[in-house]
Structure 1
Amino acid sequence: MNSTKDSQAILRDVLDQWKAAVDKHEPEQVASHFTEDALFQGLHPYSVGRSGIAAYYASQPLGLTADYRILETRRLADDLVLGYLSVDFSFTDRPTLGVYLSILLKRVQDGWAIAHYQVSHLD
């Protein structure tokens, strides 16, 4: 596999698990896909670590779902993969919110985890 395909496969593996946990409204499971010290910036003030990430997703409404599309990937080092994505968050009671997501995955003991998550909302 070439580097881009390999990086996309790594991103998809982690993001598919993240998406499944978001779609099921399982905040602790969402947070488990992040490193212990992950820097997380959603659409609220940032947090560091899994507890802040779990709290963020716990505050999201039931029925929230996420659909992502990988726009760019870069393999920064053997243990780091950078991804730039578009993500559509759908709700049951309001229009879909489209955002851009920069994500940095880090190789950890049992696979890959999200070390940095930065959402941008462009009007």
Structure 2
Amino acid sequence: MHDVLDRWKTAFDSHRPDTMAEVFTPDALFLGCGPEVVAGRDAVRTYYEAVAEDRRADVTVLHTYTIGEQVARRLRGRHLQRVVGMGGEGPHVAGRAA
């Protein structure tokens, strides 16, 4: 987790949207500061391209824990719709980092 956040912060502080997007999975769901959830690396990249170049990130890891491979599969499968509230208009939650 620390490595992923360090890579993301370095890319954010250097305004490198391509590198920031690479931290996310190809099918990531992402909620930035706006009201809309976007899907996929291209959408994440587009979001970060619009962030002002003078912005800097302050990242602190408070706690990490492993939830296990089976939990991730279950959330990604049939339970995802209930958990994240997908409907006719698409997903309604933030995504996950790789």
Relative to the length of structure 2, the TM-score reads 0.68
Which one has a larger percent strand, Structure 1 or Structure 2?
Answer: 1
Aligned length: 75
Residue number among 46, 54, 59 corresponding to 2:45 in the alignment: 54
**How big is the shift at 1:74?**
2.2
* Larger relative contact order (Cα-Cα within 8 Å, sequence gap ≥ 6): 2
Q: What residue is the counterpart of 2:11 in the other structure?
A: 21
User: How far apart, CA to CA, are the structure 2 residues paired with 1:103 and 1:71?
Assistant: 19
Match of 2:57 in 1: 66
CA distances 1:37-89 after superposition (whole Å, capped 9, x unpaired): 00101111110100110011100001111121112222011586xxxxxxxxx
2-structure distance, mates of 1:36, 1:56: 15
Provide the identity percentage.
36
How far apart in 2 are the matches of 1:33 and 1:17?
8
Q: Distance in 2 between matches of 1:13 and 1:78?
A: 20
Q: Is the 8 A contact 2:28 2:96 kept in 1?
A: no
> Aligned letter for 2:18?
E
- Greater percentage in helix: 2
| 1:35 and 2:55 are equivalent in the alignment | no
**TM-score computed with the length of structure 1 as normaliser:** 0.55
